[in-house]
Amino acid sequence: MIKVISGHGGPGGSTVAFNNLVNLFNKNGMEACLYTHTKWEGINCEWKNVSECRLDEDDVCIYHYSNITERPKVKKLILSCHETTIFPLKEHSSMVWDSLHYVSESQKEWQGVDGVVIPNIVTKYNKKDKDRKVAGVIGSIDRNKRSHLSIERALKDGHDDIRLYGAITDGQYFQKEILPLLDNKVSYRGIFSDMQEVYDVVTDVYHSPVLETFNLVKPECMYAGVEYHGHEGNDTKAEYWDDDKVYEAWKNLIST
Protein backbone atom coordinates (compact mmCIF):
# COMPACT_ATOMS: atom_id res chain seq x y z
CA MET A 1 0.00 0.00 0.00
CA ILE A 2 1.09 3.58 -0.63
CA LYS A 3 0.82 5.65 2.54
CA VAL A 4 1.22 9.41 2.14
CA ILE A 5 1.96 11.14 5.44
CA SER A 6 1.89 14.94 5.57
CA GLY A 7 2.67 17.26 8.45
CA HIS A 8 0.20 19.73 6.94
CA GLY A 9 -3.41 18.85 6.25
CA GLY A 10 -5.01 22.27 6.02
CA PRO A 11 -5.88 24.26 2.89
CA GLY A 12 -2.91 24.84 0.63
CA GLY A 13 -1.06 23.67 -2.43
CA SER A 14 0.59 20.64 -0.87
CA THR A 15 -2.71 19.31 0.51
CA VAL A 16 -4.37 19.70 -2.88
CA ALA A 17 -1.38 18.02 -4.53
CA PHE A 18 -1.40 14.97 -2.24
CA ASN A 19 -5.19 14.68 -2.42
CA ASN A 20 -4.96 14.54 -6.22
CA LEU A 21 -2.01 12.14 -6.13
CA VAL A 22 -3.78 9.66 -3.83
CA ASN A 23 -6.84 9.78 -6.08
CA LEU A 24 -4.59 9.16 -9.11
CA PHE A 25 -2.97 6.14 -7.47
CA ASN A 26 -6.31 4.61 -6.51
CA LYS A 27 -7.79 5.32 -9.95
CA ASN A 28 -4.96 3.27 -11.47
CA GLY A 29 -5.34 0.35 -9.08
CA MET A 30 -2.53 1.28 -6.65
CA GLU A 31 -4.04 1.29 -3.15
CA ALA A 32 -3.20 4.56 -1.42
CA CYS A 33 -4.27 6.67 1.55
CA LEU A 34 -3.46 10.17 2.80
CA TYR A 35 -2.64 10.59 6.51
CA THR A 36 -2.73 14.03 8.16
CA HIS A 37 -3.41 15.37 11.67
CA THR A 38 -6.54 17.21 10.55
CA LYS A 39 -8.89 16.82 7.60
CA TRP A 40 -9.64 19.92 5.58
CA GLU A 41 -13.02 19.75 3.86
CA GLY A 42 -11.27 20.04 0.48
CA ILE A 43 -9.80 16.54 0.93
CA ASN A 44 -11.86 13.98 -1.01
CA CYS A 45 -9.37 11.12 -1.36
CA GLU A 46 -8.94 8.11 0.91
CA TRP A 47 -7.95 9.66 4.24
CA LYS A 48 -7.16 8.68 7.82
CA ASN A 49 -5.80 10.49 10.83
CA VAL A 50 -2.04 10.11 11.13
CA SER A 51 -2.53 8.45 14.52
CA GLU A 52 -4.01 5.46 12.66
CA CYS A 53 -1.01 5.01 10.38
CA ARG A 54 0.90 1.77 10.83
CA LEU A 55 3.77 1.13 8.44
CA ASP A 56 4.37 -2.40 7.17
CA GLU A 57 7.32 -3.90 5.33
CA ASP A 58 5.41 -4.00 2.04
CA ASP A 59 4.33 -0.35 2.22
CA VAL A 60 5.62 2.57 0.19
CA CYS A 61 5.80 5.59 2.50
CA ILE A 62 5.72 9.07 0.96
CA TYR A 63 6.23 11.67 3.66
CA HIS A 64 6.08 15.46 3.63
CA TYR A 65 6.88 18.34 5.99
CA SER A 66 7.97 15.97 8.72
CA ASN A 67 11.29 14.95 10.26
CA ILE A 68 11.95 11.25 9.87
CA THR A 69 15.45 10.57 11.16
CA GLU A 70 15.29 6.78 11.43
CA ARG A 71 14.24 4.70 8.45
CA PRO A 72 11.08 2.68 9.13
CA LYS A 73 10.88 -0.90 7.87
CA VAL A 74 9.09 -0.19 4.61
CA LYS A 75 9.56 -1.19 0.99
CA LYS A 76 10.37 2.38 -0.13
CA LEU A 77 10.72 5.68 1.74
CA ILE A 78 10.20 8.85 -0.31
CA LEU A 79 10.48 12.40 0.96
CA SER A 80 8.17 14.62 -1.09
CA CYS A 81 9.35 18.20 -0.64
CA HIS A 82 7.03 21.04 -1.70
CA GLU A 83 8.82 23.90 0.09
CA THR A 84 11.85 26.17 -0.06
CA THR A 85 12.46 28.73 2.70
CA ILE A 86 10.14 27.17 5.29
CA PHE A 87 11.72 23.72 4.93
CA PRO A 88 15.37 23.99 3.78
CA LEU A 89 16.67 20.44 3.45
CA LYS A 90 20.27 21.32 4.26
CA GLU A 91 19.11 22.29 7.74
CA HIS A 92 17.56 18.82 8.15
CA SER A 93 20.65 16.77 7.44
CA SER A 94 19.64 14.03 9.88
CA MET A 95 16.54 13.15 7.85
CA VAL A 96 16.47 9.89 5.90
CA TRP A 97 14.91 8.83 2.61
CA ASP A 98 15.47 6.42 -0.27
CA SER A 99 14.31 8.91 -2.91
CA LEU A 100 13.71 12.65 -2.83
CA HIS A 101 10.87 14.23 -4.82
CA TYR A 102 10.53 17.86 -5.90
CA VAL A 103 7.69 19.60 -7.75
CA SER A 104 9.79 21.87 -10.01
CA GLU A 105 13.32 22.38 -11.30
CA SER A 106 13.59 25.81 -9.68
CA GLN A 107 12.73 24.31 -6.30
CA LYS A 108 15.36 21.60 -6.77
CA GLU A 109 17.97 24.23 -7.68
CA TRP A 110 17.05 26.32 -4.63
CA GLN A 111 17.32 23.35 -2.25
CA GLY A 112 20.65 22.25 -3.75
CA VAL A 113 20.07 18.57 -2.94
CA ASP A 114 19.71 16.07 -5.77
CA GLY A 115 16.28 14.58 -6.35
CA VAL A 116 13.60 13.68 -8.89
CA VAL A 117 11.24 16.32 -10.26
CA ILE A 118 7.62 15.29 -10.84
CA PRO A 119 5.14 18.17 -11.24
CA ASN A 120 1.89 18.33 -9.33
CA ILE A 121 -1.38 17.30 -10.93
CA VAL A 122 -3.32 20.27 -12.29
CA THR A 123 -7.08 20.27 -11.76
CA LYS A 124 -8.78 21.07 -15.05
CA TYR A 125 -11.58 23.42 -14.08
CA ASN A 126 -14.42 24.11 -16.50
CA LYS A 127 -14.82 27.37 -18.38
CA LYS A 128 -17.86 29.54 -17.79
CA ASP A 129 -19.04 32.71 -19.50
CA LYS A 130 -19.31 35.78 -17.24
CA ASP A 131 -21.22 38.99 -17.74
CA ARG A 132 -19.03 41.26 -15.59
CA LYS A 133 -15.38 41.70 -14.66
CA VAL A 134 -14.28 40.27 -11.31
CA ALA A 135 -10.65 40.13 -10.21
CA GLY A 136 -9.46 37.33 -7.93
CA VAL A 137 -6.41 37.09 -5.69
CA ILE A 138 -5.94 33.38 -5.02
CA GLY A 139 -3.67 31.70 -2.48
CA SER A 140 -2.57 31.91 1.12
CA ILE A 141 -2.46 35.45 2.45
CA ASP A 142 1.04 36.20 3.71
CA ARG A 143 4.26 38.09 3.02
CA ASN A 144 5.46 35.62 0.40
CA LYS A 145 2.27 35.76 -1.66
CA ARG A 146 2.22 39.57 -1.43
CA SER A 147 -1.55 39.71 -1.69
CA HIS A 148 -1.46 43.48 -1.16
CA LEU A 149 0.59 43.89 -4.33
CA SER A 150 -1.93 41.84 -6.30
CA ILE A 151 -4.74 44.06 -4.98
CA GLU A 152 -2.84 47.21 -5.93
CA ARG A 153 -2.14 45.88 -9.42
CA ALA A 154 -5.81 44.98 -9.94
CA LEU A 155 -6.91 48.44 -8.77
CA LYS A 156 -4.40 50.06 -11.12
CA ASP A 157 -5.90 48.06 -14.00
CA GLY A 158 -9.31 49.53 -13.19
CA HIS A 159 -11.05 46.66 -11.40
CA ASP A 160 -13.82 47.67 -9.01
CA ASP A 161 -14.65 44.17 -7.70
CA ILE A 162 -11.57 42.45 -6.26
CA ARG A 163 -11.99 39.29 -4.18
CA LEU A 164 -9.38 37.54 -2.03
CA TYR A 165 -9.61 33.77 -1.66
CA GLY A 166 -7.37 31.77 0.66
CA ALA A 167 -6.23 31.02 4.18
CA ILE A 168 -4.82 33.84 6.30
CA THR A 169 -1.46 32.28 7.19
CA ASP A 170 0.10 35.48 8.56
CA GLY A 171 -2.26 37.38 10.84
CA GLN A 172 0.05 40.36 11.34
CA TYR A 173 0.52 40.74 7.60
CA PHE A 174 -3.25 40.60 7.07
CA GLN A 175 -3.89 43.28 9.67
CA LYS A 176 -1.13 45.59 8.47
CA GLU A 177 -1.26 45.19 4.68
CA ILE A 178 -4.69 43.81 3.78
CA LEU A 179 -7.25 45.23 6.22
CA PRO A 180 -6.55 48.86 5.18
CA LEU A 181 -7.28 47.89 1.56
CA LEU A 182 -10.68 46.29 2.23
CA ASP A 183 -13.56 48.52 1.11
CA ASN A 184 -16.46 48.53 -1.33
CA LYS A 185 -14.07 47.41 -4.11
CA VAL A 186 -11.93 44.88 -2.23
CA SER A 187 -13.35 42.01 -0.16
CA TYR A 188 -12.04 38.90 1.58
CA ARG A 189 -14.10 35.81 0.64
CA GLY A 190 -12.41 33.12 2.76
CA ILE A 191 -11.40 29.57 1.89
CA PHE A 192 -13.14 27.54 -0.81
CA SER A 193 -12.85 23.76 -0.86
CA ASP A 194 -14.16 23.67 -4.44
CA MET A 195 -12.24 26.16 -6.54
CA GLN A 196 -14.64 25.64 -9.46
CA GLU A 197 -16.96 28.01 -7.58
CA VAL A 198 -14.23 30.66 -7.66
CA TYR A 199 -13.29 30.19 -11.31
CA ASP A 200 -16.98 30.36 -12.22
CA VAL A 201 -16.98 33.97 -10.98
CA VAL A 202 -13.58 35.56 -11.60
CA THR A 203 -12.48 36.82 -15.00
CA ASP A 204 -8.94 37.85 -14.00
CA VAL A 205 -6.52 36.49 -11.41
CA TYR A 206 -3.61 38.50 -9.99
CA HIS A 207 -0.67 36.60 -8.51
CA SER A 208 2.46 38.26 -7.06
CA PRO A 209 4.47 35.82 -4.88
CA VAL A 210 8.11 36.40 -4.04
CA LEU A 211 8.91 32.73 -4.51
CA GLU A 212 6.86 29.78 -5.75
CA THR A 213 7.86 26.13 -5.85
CA PHE A 214 5.02 25.22 -8.22
CA ASN A 215 2.68 27.80 -9.68
CA LEU A 216 -0.62 25.94 -9.62
CA VAL A 217 -2.76 29.04 -10.16
CA LYS A 218 -1.38 29.76 -13.64
CA PRO A 219 -2.43 26.47 -15.32
CA GLU A 220 -5.73 26.42 -13.41
CA CYS A 221 -6.53 29.80 -14.96
CA MET A 222 -5.60 28.48 -18.39
CA TYR A 223 -8.06 25.57 -18.15
CA ALA A 224 -10.78 27.76 -16.60
CA GLY A 225 -10.45 30.39 -19.32
CA VAL A 226 -9.44 33.08 -16.80
CA GLU A 227 -6.91 35.80 -17.57
CA TYR A 228 -3.76 35.27 -15.49
CA HIS A 229 -1.75 38.30 -14.38
CA GLY A 230 1.58 37.14 -12.96
CA HIS A 231 4.34 39.35 -11.66
CA GLU A 232 7.82 39.76 -13.09
CA GLY A 233 10.23 37.34 -11.44
CA ASN A 234 7.61 35.22 -9.65
CA ASP A 235 7.20 32.46 -12.21
CA THR A 236 8.91 29.11 -11.79
CA LYS A 237 10.59 26.61 -14.06
CA ALA A 238 7.55 24.42 -13.50
CA GLU A 239 6.32 22.03 -16.14
CA TYR A 240 2.72 20.97 -16.39
CA TRP A 241 2.20 17.30 -17.28
CA ASP A 242 -0.93 15.36 -18.08
CA ASP A 243 -2.16 12.89 -15.47
CA ASP A 244 -0.83 9.82 -17.31
CA LYS A 245 2.70 11.22 -17.43
CA VAL A 246 2.58 12.12 -13.73
CA TYR A 247 1.36 8.63 -12.88
CA GLU A 248 4.05 6.89 -14.94
CA ALA A 249 6.77 9.03 -13.32
CA TRP A 250 5.53 8.21 -9.81
CA LYS A 251 5.19 4.53 -10.65
CA ASN A 252 8.79 4.51 -11.85
CA LEU A 253 10.00 6.38 -8.74
CA ILE A 254 8.21 3.92 -6.45
CA SER A 255 9.56 0.84 -8.21
CA THR A 256 13.23 1.87 -8.55
159 in the same domain as 210: yes
163 in the same domain as 103: no
172 in the same domain as 87: no
100 in the same domain as 57: yes
> Could you give the number of structural domains in the chain?
2
Contact 103, 236 (CB under 8 A): no
SS3 83: coil
Contact 173, 197 (CB under 8 A): no
CATH number at residue 191: 3.40.50.2000
Please name every residue paired with 99 in a beta bridge, in sequence order, or none if there are none. Answer: 78
114 in the same domain as 65: yes
Q: For residue 30, which phi and psi values (nearest 5 degrees)?
A: -105, 110
115 in the same domain as 20: yes
Q: What is the pLDDT along the chain (256 residues), one digit of tens a residue?
A: 999 999 999 998 999 999 999 999 999 999 999 999 999 999 999 999 999 999 999 999 999 999 999 999 999 999 999 999 999 999 998 999 999 999 999 999 999 999 999 999 999 999 999 999 999 999 999 999 999 999 999 999 999 999 999 999 999 999 999 999 999 999 999 999 999 999 999 999 999 999 889 999 999 999 999 999 998 655 556 789 999 999 999 999 999 8
The H or E element spanning position 21 is helix 13-27
- Domain membership of residue 97 as a residue range: 2-121+240-255
Does residue 126 sit within a domain?
A: no
Contact 50, 24 (CB under 8 A): no
Single out the residue of 103, 5, 119 nearest to residue 51, CA to CA: 5
pTM greater than 0.75: yes
Tell me which long-range contacts 83-86 makes (C-beta under 8 A, separation of at least 24).
83/14, 83/107, 83/213, 84/110, 84/111, 84/211, 84/213, 85/144, 85/211
Contact 37, 49 (CB under 8 A): yes
103 in the same domain as 27: yes
